[in-house]
Structures are given as structure tokens and as C-alpha cells.
Amino acid sequence: MVISVLVEINIDKVFDYNVPDNLKENICLGKRVLVPFGKQVLEGFIIDIKNKSNYELKDIISIVDNESILNDELLSLGKEISKSNVCNLTSVYQSMLPVGLKASKNRKVSIRKNTYIRLISDDVIEFISNTRSLKQKEIVSYLLKNKNALTTTFDSSSINALIKKGIIEKYSEEYYRLNDNNSIEDLVTLNEYQIKAYNEIKESSKDVILLNGVTGSGKTEIYMHLIKDALDNKKSAILLVPEISLTPQIIGRFKKHFNNIAVLHSGLSQGEKYDEYRKILNKEVNIVIGARSAIFAPLNDLGVIIIDEEHSQTYKQDHNPRYNAIDVAIIRGKTHNCKVILGSATPMVEDYARAKKGYYELVKLDKRANNASLPLINIVDMTKETKKGNKIFSEELLLSIEDRLNKHEQIMLLLNKRGYSNYLMCPNCGEVKKCPNCDITLTYHKTSNMNRCHYCGYADNNKEICSKCNTKLVNMGLGTEKVEEEINKLFPDAKVLRMDIDTTGNKGSHQKIIDKFMNHEADILVGTQMISKGLDFPLVTLVGVINADTILNLPDFRSSERTYDLISQVSGRAGRSNLKGKVVIQTYNPDNYAIKLVSSNNYEDFYNEEITIRKKLYYPPYSFIALIKVGGKDFNSTIKEANKIGDYLRRNVDKEIVLGPSVASLSKINNIYYFEIIIKYRDKDNIVNILNDVRKITLSNSKINVQFDINPISL
Ligand code: ADP
Ligand code: ZN
């Protein structure tokens, strides 16, 4: 017998091994095996079983698993993902699994076991009356009343004596690190709007349903009803939630109504993740709630797949393999013949377009379930404030903060500093330089003192003055830390908490900040987009967006969409109880359509504006985008290789649609230079085939490293 093995290291090759006779019986696709590899010993997945080979082969060393850990569905799903995302197959299989089950010769995660004792002798009554040892008598009497006892309950010399006498035996049993058994409550009765939406979902003949409901409209309750239906039909369910909203709050809500849930997210230890995953493998759960990679949960007979906050960027993995969990959900939905539900208050423009076109079913939910009103949103024009000398906080925001502090209510201040390079803006008229070809904000590069377009390579010399009104441009670059510092200066008596990547590094620190703020141990919470999702603080009556333009000016065609999402999400944090909420949005672009329309809560109008622009500029959903990143140590040879790839592409696809190579937005990381090629295309299959060819050709080129990002979520 010969097997093909995909070894743990990411080389794009499958190796054949011979199986010695004594191991044949246990060979099975999707199990891990230990194999000799050059001078090393590696682990790998069995991905093919053959009768024989024409070559002399090495023997495998051993089989790691008793059961397959990659079932047939996952094995073929992996191949599909690797092809459509133009990436390495091993990396796809590895990212489907928790650390403890990945192929790796250095596994560190173990199964936890408890050791018990139990009776094995029949004449214990006689033993009890005869023995002189009180301790041994106590153990035996205990085991007459109870089926077993943890070995740690009694002293070991007495236990050993009893084992020697053949009265009791030791045995061990696996247990899971996380365990709960709740009493289960009935689901809430849906209101008339929810029932209508629920019925539309149930009656739809489409594979994918977009549930577009404002925040608080009761989408989560509908999810629970859909999951219950699946379970009633002896099927299982997956619910994906963005990592950040996977708080105990939401998990608790589901555990109140369902048993048999496995939870998968990054807040768990490796051991906990391993155990949650084994619950699925052992068929002890039928609901999986988790972040992106939970879409690979090996549940059989899926009855429904739900993706909450479907517009969230976290569903796309930002490193290899760059898969999108929504695409995977749709493939799995087809395989299991089950519906995929995408839920959001602010859907991805591309998905909304698909729903409008009828590819997806569009189901709407326009009313808040508990009759709470949406907060009042005020836009503050910061160009006017700057003239008054107010750089960070407007008069209105400061007055509102003071007012809330006096009333002992709470305040959230958002500043999204993550992931943007600095850009220059005119403080007088708000002008930001855009690329003449792409209508995308130019990025200011300090070292070269140039403004560059990351799409097409356009660049112009930075003149430091606004071309419209001749004012000196200012460097935009304020962070949360600075905001916290300023607030402390202005309101020395107020207690301030900050939540961003820097303050949430340790396990549990994210939750600690949330708990503190919930207990009103602080008055003001300053944070990045981390504070925008899913949190429910009844005392928050004011939300301030310090600079709504940070995202708007990102060099990305989705920047307006992101701005709309973020502001609408964070606004939803204000006035969730009976206290009326207010939102202050500070911007230098008060007339921008995304900012204007989010303040009137008008997604439909926003969508209509946005889609016109997308059409005009041939951006998704009117095209697909592929991003090819070429990295290399030597600037000149890297650009030469990048040009070769560009030329190859122009020869093989319609050359109009190939842009670049141009210098990547992060042009040099760790002394590696990066160049980007962008393809805007319509013919999916053809482009993917050609890119896979490019991948094959460039793999052997040791001078460069080429990465492919199909439908990148940011550019
Ligand atoms: P969404 O997921 O759309 O943001 P939720 O499902 O979280 O909305 O609902 C918002 C709030 O309204 C929650 O506190 C929820 O328990 C409550 N709620 C939703 N539907 C109902 C209902 N039919 N009856 C009573 N309360 C409801
Ligand atoms: Zn351009």
C-alpha cells in the first residue's frame, strides 16, 4: 500500500510513502502520519491512497490519529479553496484545525484526563467486616454508595493496598476543559416584523439570504429560531460572529437556550480550543459558534449557516491562506443543501447589490425590537472649529461631555487610528488630494515627500499647500493615546479607560475593561473600532467620533462604506436603554454623502450613491479584484521580476485590466521591497487559472516571494 502525504512544511509538493503491512489496517484519508523527510521526521496528512508506486519508497513511521481529522468534505473543500485563492494547500488544511490537531511534530496540546478508582470485587461486605484498616474501610464504604471516586480524594497508600488485594481498580477518563450544563429556557416569541422576516427566510428558494435589519431589530432572536428549526430536524448549525463581538454576553445568550454548543474563538487557550473542537469530532455538539475559522467546523448534516455582521472585515483572513469565510459558507451551504444567512445593519455593498439583483434573497427588518429610538446624530464641521482654535474636541462635544459627567452618565469616544498611513489635509477647506485616474486618496510618503496612488502608481510632488485655497496643509495623525491624555487634562476628575490593541494584549484584558466600564468604575471609554461592536452599556448616552475622516481618507475604494459602517455601529452604542442617546461626529467633510446619510440612518440612499460611483469606476461589484504582491530583497531585481509578471499577465488577459506594478502601500517591510499588481476582472475562472499558472512559475524563483489576494478586503 502507498499513500500520498502532504507534509507540515509549506512546500507545494505531495510525497508518496510505503505503508508497512502491520499499519495497513488503520490507514484512512485525512489522518496524520509521521514520516521520514530527508534527515528530519515530519507529520503530514494522508490525502491519497494508492495500490503501488513505480519507485522505491520510504516507509511511514507511524499513524498519529485513531480517527480522520480531515473528513472527505474538508479534504475536497481545502482543494477548492487552495485553487480559488491561489494559495498553498497545506496552509489551508492547517488553518482549518486548532493548534492541537494541526500537522506538527512539536505538538504541545494534550488531552486532559482524570484518574478514578472503582470497585471490582464481589465480596466487599466480608472485607469491610474483616479489615482492621479504617482508611481502607472508608474507601470501600464510599465506593459502595458512589460509582467511583477521584484518586485524589483518598490517600494513595490505602488505594494501592486495595488495588493489590484485588478489591478496587484505577482507570482514567478524558474530560473537557470547558464544560457547562445549563437549564434551558424557551426562545422569546417573535414580534410581527420578526415573524414576517422569519417566514420570508423559510419560504425563500434562494441559497443565500441577506437579512438587513437595523441594530437592535431582533436579528439574533431570529437566528436562534432558525437554529432551533435545524436541531428539530436532527441537523446542526454554525453561527459566525466577528472575533471582537464574541464576548461572554453573546455566548451567554445562546447558552441560555441551547445545550451542546462548542465555542471557538481566540480568547480561549490552546487546550480549551482543542477540547471544544474534539466535542465536534466526537459528535457531542450540534451548534458551533465562533469567529472566522469556525466555518470549517466538521459538523455533519448542516441545517443552517449564519454569519452575523456579515460586512465585518474579519471574515477575510489577512494572511495566507487569504480565504473569505463567507465564500466558504456558500460552498458548504451547497454541499449540505442548507441555507446561508448573512445578517447586517449595514451589509457589504457587494452583497446588497447581489440581493437587489436577486442572486440572494433580501429580507428587511426596519424597526427596533424593544421600541428604543435610534440616537440623535449631530455632525460638527471641524474646519470651523479649527478656526476657533479647537483642534481635537469641538465646543459641542466638550459641552456634551461635561453635561453627561454632571449627570453621572457615561461617554464613549471613538478614534480609529489603526492601519492608515498619514495623509495631508487642508485645515481650511478640508481638501485632500485624490488621484486623477482613480478617485482615491493619495497617501503621503514622508521619506520621499511625495503623494502616491496605491492603485495605479500615480505620484506627484508634495507642495505642502492646498491647491484650492493656498493654505498650508496639516499632517493628520492623532491617536487614542493622545485623546486620553487630553481628556485627562480637560476633565481631571473624570475616570478614563482606553481600549485599543495596546491595552488589550493580555488574555482577558479586553473583558476586564468592559466589566469595569459596565460597573461604572469609569466615566469615559476611549477606543478604536474595538468599542464599536456589540457592546451594550445602558448608561452610555453620548458617543463622540473624534475624527470621522480617518477611514474616509484611506486609499481604498471601500473607504466610504467603511465610514458608514463604523459610524452607524458606534452610534448604536448610545441610548440603548430608556435614556436618550446623542452622537457627535466631528469631520472636515460634513458634506460627504457617507457622513450625511449615516446621520439620517439611511442605508438605502447611501447604497444608491455608492453603487453609482462603483459602476463609474468599475469597482466591485462591477468587477472582481485580484492583488498580486511581489516581494524581494533587492529593489532592482524585484521590480524587474514584478514587471515580468505584469507583462505575462498583459499577454494572457485583456491588458486593459492589469494595473501596475507599482510600489506597494507598505513599500518596504523588514528590508523586503514590495510591489503590487492589481487586476480588475469579470471572468473569474479564467483569471484564477492564469494566476495559478503564475504561482507555479514563480514558486521556483528564489529571488522573489509572490502572494496572491483574491477579492482583497482592503488595498
Ligand atoms: P440585533 O441582533 O438585530 O441587534 P437583538 O436580537 O439583539 O437585535 O435584539 C435587541 C434586543 O431586543 C435584545 O435585548 C433582545 O433580547 C430584544 N428582543 C428582540 N426580539 C424580541 C422579542 N420578540 N421579544 C422581546 N424582546 C426581544
Ligand atoms: Zn491612481
Nearest to 394 by CA among 551, 203, 661, 585: 585
Summarised one tens digit per residue, pLDDT across range 38-83 is 999 999 999 999 988 888 899 999 999 999 999 999 999 999 999 9
Is a pLDDT exceeding 60 seen at residue 644? yes
Domain ranges of the chain: 2-101, 113-174, 192-365, 376-418+479-612, 624-710
Do the domains spanning 376-418+479-612 and 624-710 agree at the CATH topology level? no
Does ligand 1 have an atom closer than 6 angstroms to the CB of 197?
A: no
For residues 95 and 320, give the distance between their C-alpha atoms in angstroms, rounded to a whole number. Answer: 9
- Does ligand 1 lie within 6 Å of residue 68's CB atom? no
The partner residues of 412 in beta bridges, in order of sequence, read 525, 543
- Distance (angstroms) between ligand 2 centre and the Cα of 473 equals 21
Nearest CA to ligand 1 atom 25: 188
Work out the percent of the chain whose per-residue pLDDT is above 70. 94
Using pLDDT thresholds of 50, 70 and 90, give the confidence band for residue 244.
low
Compute the mean pLDDT over every residue in the chain, rounded to the nearest whole number: 88
Ligand 1: atom nearest CA of 370 is: 12
Which pLDDT score is estimated for 399?
96
- State the closest ligand 1 atom to the C-alpha of 189, by its place in the atom list counted from 1: 23
Q: How confident is the model at residue 245 (pLDDT cuts 50, 70, 90)?
A: low
> Residue 597 and residue 125: Cα distance in Å, rounded?
82
220 in contact with ligand 1, CB cutoff 6 A: yes
Does the pLDDT of residue 421 top 50, yes or no? no
- Report how far residue 201's alpha carbon sits from residue 342's, in angstroms, rounded to the nearest whole number: 11
pLDDT tens profile 71-87:
999 999 999 999 999 99
Assign domain 376-418+479-612 to its CATH superfamily.
P-loop containing nucleotide triphosphate hydrolases (3.40.50.300)
SS3 116: strand
CA contacts within 13 A on the Cβ side of 96: 25
pLDDT digits (tens, 9 = 90+) for 267-318: 788 899 999 999 999 999 999 999 999 999 999 999 999 999 999 999 999 8
The CATH fold of domain 624-710: Alpha-Beta Plaits (3.30.70)
- pLDDT band for 419, please (50, 70, 90 cuts): very low
**Which ligand lies nearest the alpha carbon of 437?**
2
DSSP SS3 for 173:
strand
pLDDT at residue 432, rounded to an integer: 81
Please name the residue that has the C-alpha cell 446619510.
597
Residues 396-418 have pLDDT tens digits of 999 999 999 999 999 999 987 64
Peptide bond connecting 621 to the previous residue in cis, omega within 30 degrees of 0: yes
Q: Identify whether the C-beta of residue 681 lies closer than 8 Å to the C-beta of residue 623.
A: yes
pLDDT over 70 (residue 478)? no
Identify which has the larger pLDDT, 668 or 339: 339
- pLDDT over 50 (residue 685): yes
Distance from C-alpha of 127 to C-alpha of 140, rounded to nearest angstrom: 9
Mean per-residue pLDDT, 248-274: 87
Ramachandran angles phi, psi of 586, nearest 5°: -95, 130
Whether the pLDDT of residue 494 is over 70: the answer is yes
Instruction: Report the amino acid identity of residue 212.
Output: N
- pLDDT the model gives residue 383: 92
The Cα–Cα gap between 422 and 445 comes to 8
- CATH for the stretch 192-365: 3.40.50.300
Three-state DSSP at 708 gives strand
CB distance 182 to 255 below 8 Å: yes
CB atoms within 10 A of CB 80: 13
Which numbered atom of ligand 1 lies nearest the CA of 221?
6
* 165 vs 245: CA distance, rounded Å: 57
Return phi, psi of residue 634, to 5°. Answer: -105, 125
Best residue for ligand 1 mutational test, from 342, 370, 573, 603 (most atoms within 8 Å of Cβ): 370
Residues, Cβ < 5 Å to ion ligand 2: 435, 437-438, 453, 455-456, 458
Instruction: Identify the pLDDT of residue 402.
Output: 96
pLDDT of residue 504: 76
Q: Ligand 1: does its nearest atom lie under 6 Å from the Cβ of 218?
A: yes
- Sequence-distant (≥ 6) Cβ neighbours of residue 155 within 8 angstroms: 135
Contacts of 106 (CB under 8 A, 6+ apart): none
Q: What is the pLDDT of residue 666?
A: 64
Task: Return the pLDDT at 605.
Answer: 94
Question: What stretches of 341-479 show up as alpha helix (H) in DSSP?
Answer: 349-357, 382-387, 395-406
Across the range 169-192, mean pLDDT stands at 85
* CATH entry, 2-101, from 3.40.50.300, 1.10.287.1080, 3.40.50.720, 3.40.1440.60: 3.40.1440.60
Per-residue pLDDT at 265 exceeds 50: yes
> 520-535 pLDDT, tens per residue?
999 999 988 888 776 7
Give residue 20's pLDDT.
Answer: 94
**CA 48/CA 28 separation, integer angstroms:** 9
Q: What's phi and psi for 273, nearest 5 deg?
A: -60, -45
Instruction: Tell me which ligand sits closest to the C-alpha of residue 344.
Output: 1
Q: How confident is the model at residue 422 (pLDDT cuts 50, 70, 90)?
A: low
Rounded CA gap, 162 and 52, in Å?
A: 54
Residue 541: CB atoms within 10 A of its CB come to 23
Asked whether the predicted pLDDT for residue 682 surpasses 60, the reply is yes
CA-based nearest residue to 46, from 20, 81, 72: 72
Measured CA to CA in angstroms, residue 673 lies from 400, 635, 648, 667, 706 at distances of 48, 6, 21, 6, 12
- CB distance 233 to 202 below 8 Å: no
Asked if 385 contacts 394 with a C-beta cutoff of 8 angstroms, the reply is yes
Most confident range, picked from 428-442, 468-482, 491-505, 624-638: 624-638
Query: Under a CB-based contact definition with an 8 Å cutoff, are residues 649 and 679 in contact?
Result: yes
Question: Measuring from atom 4 of ligand 1, which residue has the nearest CA?
Answer: 216
- Which residues, including other chains, have CB under 8 Å from residue 326's CB and lie 6 or more apart? 307, 310, 315, 342, 351
pLDDT score, position 525: 95
Q: H-helix or E-strand containing 413?
A: strand 410-414
- The residue whose CB lies within 8 Å of the most ligand 1 atoms, and thus the one to mutate among 185, 189, 220, is 220
DSSP string across 636-652 = HHHHHHHHHHHHHHHHH
Contact 703, 637 (CB under 8 A): yes
- CA dist 20 and 41 (Å) reads 17
CA dist 142 and 117 (Å) reads 11
Please identify, by atom number, the ligand 1 atom nearest to the C-alpha of residue 308: 2
Give the per-residue pLDDT at 221: 95
